Amino acid sequence: MKYTNLPNTNLKVSKICLGTMTFGRQNTIEEAHDQMDLALDKGVNFFDTAEMYAVPFTMETQGLTEAYIGKWFAKNGNRDKVVLATKITGPGRGIFREIRDPLDFSAASLTDALHKSLKRLQTDYIDLYQLHWPERSVNIFGVRDYDHAPNAEWDDNLAEIVTRLEDFVKQGKIRHIGLSNETPYGVMRYMEAHRKGATKMVAVQNAYNLLQRRDEVGLTEVLQMENIGYLPYSPLAFGMLSGKYLYNRKPENARVTLFPNYSRYSGKLSFRATEKYAEIAKKFELSLPQLALAFVNSRSFVTSNIIGATTLAQLEENIGSINVTLSEEMLSEIEKVHQQIPNPAP
């Protein structure tokens, strides 16, 4: 395994991070524990979760992922071996409002979310506590273009949110804070608060893969210039970049087969681009997942690549991508496809 420091911290994290959102829906507690055992054995010391997981979200499964991780910590006594990241659910998306009311980043909501996560995770501190998505409306989760109308009356409270989080940092319940599904504007506003003395947001977790590279337009410049970590999720694009959905295949128990509304990466252009990337992988005798993950691993702005899997075989292959090096010729061919079909899945 390869390691790096999470920027602005003393935390050494593996370049591969274990994503856990399937724990509690597609994976049982036993399977989840087996995945964490394998990941740790392979040198992965960075785990990411969220209070709303498992995914797809239901109130029956909400919090199960954190609970599975907490039981694993309790069983093995190895909390100190893992850099643990979790997230508070963002406001404004109706299906999650049963988690708490109001669903916001108020002091009361942050207190409620954090303490419930700590209890489920059976720990007294979170290494990286993230805002799952912003309070304001942003073009994420399949929305390509920004629409300002929903933000016309947005209450700009970013500095206040940081102040509330700082209280938990001072109490030792959170070590560092970060963002998720955030834009260049949001990151720079938090940096504005930091320059006035507020605690720095040390990382941003956004979707990034061969089909979705739009963060390279703006955000990655900000992150590198401001020394902020980047934690890409969905590096295999809901499994599209495994190749298993090509040629009208619908594998049994695969995520998009089970949950067809997860269609972000299922458009015609995404299929066309995936076919071209599969041809490149075949030409250079790699599997498509190896090519897709190695590409993300190779980006200079990536701190740690958040992978996910539903089987141990998938997990082992995905972790193994850290040992795959893409040649300049491979990267050039990838770039040609990107120029032909740029960002087909926003």
So which residues are the catalytic ones?
Answer: 53
Per the omega criterion (within 30 degrees of 0), is the bond before 39 cis? no
Report the SS3 class of residue 187.
helix
Cα 137 to Cα 223: distance, rounded to the nearest angstrom: 21
Report the SS3 class of residue 151.
helix
Nearest to 130 by CA among 52, 64, 217: 52
Report the SS3 class of residue 293.
helix
Q: What is the DSSP letter of 95?
A: G
Nearest to 119 by CA among 83, 81, 66: 66
Cα 282 to Cα 288: distance, rounded to the nearest angstrom: 8
25 phi and psi angles, rounded to 5 deg = -120, -70
Residues 6+ apart with CB under 8 A from 209: 232, 234, 235, 236, 237, 241, 292, 296
Cα 131 to Cα 161: distance, rounded to the nearest angstrom: 10
Cα 215 to Cα 17: distance, rounded to the nearest angstrom: 19
Residue 59 burial (CB count, 10 A) = 10
Residues 6+ apart with CB under 8 A from 149: none
For residue 149, give both structure tokens: 């109308």
Cα 46 to Cα 14: distance, rounded to the nearest angstrom: 6
Report the SS3 class of residue 278.
helix
